[in-house]
Amino acid sequence: MRKNIKPKTSLCSLLTAAGLASLALFAPAHSQSFGDILGSAKKVAQAATVSDQQIVAYFSQMSDEMDRQNTLATAKNPYAVRLAKLTTGLTSYDGLNLDIKAYIASDVNAFAMGDGTVRVYSGLMDKLTDDEVRCVIGHEIGHVKLGHGQKRLKLALQQDAALSVAGTASSGVRRIANSELGGLIQNVISAQHSQAAETASDDYALSFMAAKAYPQAACPSAMDKLAALGGGGGIGLLKTHPDPAQRAKRMRAKIK
Ligand SMILES: [Zn+2]
């Protein structure tokens, strides 16, 4: 996988080159045999009826894969200790069960999956105060609660016949083929990058901060830091993503 040379700097409104490549999941299908077409029709039927429980199982599979690809901070690691402290009591929120952990990686980044998995990169924690990290976590919970990744996952299941399911695990839960997993993860995470999704999650983060009696001002101040790191400029699709300076300004205007 080719790594971006630029530092990664805007929470989940960040797409790597690898992430862009994964959007090929939506590329027109190659010529299909009759059998393929039948298979596709079957997939669409499956996707239309896929249960919420199954969707969560797919997300869990993707979360496990991300954890496998990254270095999780172990319990005694200073990042894990700090994160555990600043998220005390946050095992659930707004009806969601949460699993919040740190990755040891220099990326200034964070993401969430639809099963309630939230991962915060140590590179982000290095830049932000505890309250600013809390705001990022609130923002990520927003993506889960508002179903941004879930919509994309359902769309991918409906549209991509290549998203073959490897089989049914002993638990009775279907699993995504390993060969499709990486692309699907990037695809689902990238669904959170639209202006509308980011704005909705920013608003959610402000409500989260208020509900938890954390200072809302930590949200725009986190954005200021990202803006200073150059998150608003960038290359390629980054240009189409929300500018952290604008997000900071919008959030400041919303804070009473
Ligand atoms: Zn986001």
> What predicted TM-score, i.e. pTM, was given to this entire model?
0.78
Burial class (CB in 10 A: 0-12, 13-18, 19+), 186: buried
Q: What is the pLDDT of residue 244?
A: 87
Residues around ion ligand 1, judged by CB within 5 A, are 12, 192, 198, 201
Q: What is the pLDDT of residue 71?
A: 98
Q: Are 197 and 248 in contact (CB under 8 A)?
A: no
Tell me the CA–centroid distance for residue 139 and ligand 1, in Å.
6
In a domain, 8, yes or no: no
Q: What is the pLDDT of residue 185?
A: 87
Residue ranges, the chain, pLDDT below 50: 1-10, 13-32, 34, 37, 232-240
In a domain, 2, yes or no: no
Q: Domain containing 73: what range?
A: 17-23+33-254
N-to-C CA span, the chain: 45
Q: How far apart are CA 227 and CA 78, in angstroms?
A: 26
In a domain, 4, yes or no: no
Tell me the CA–centroid distance for residue 192 and ligand 1, in Å.
5
Residue range 150-174, pLDDT digits in tens: 888 888 877 765 565 555 555 566 7
Where are the strands (E) in 67-127, listed by range? 92-93, 96-97, 99-103, 110-112, 117-121
Give the chain's domain count. Answer: 1
Q: Are 71 and 103 in contact (CB under 8 A)?
A: yes
In a domain, 216, yes or no: yes
Tell me the CA–centroid distance for residue 33 and ligand 1, in Å.
39
Tell me the CA–centroid distance for residue 198 and ligand 1, in Å.
5
Catalytic residues: 140
In a domain, 76, yes or no: yes
Q: What is the pLDDT of residue 139?
A: 96
In a domain, 5, yes or no: no
Angle between helix 130-145 and 78-86 (nearest 10): 70
Q: What is the pLDDT of residue 243?
A: 83
Q: What is the pLDDT of residue 3?
A: 42
Q: How many CB atoms lie within 10 A of CB 178?
A: 10
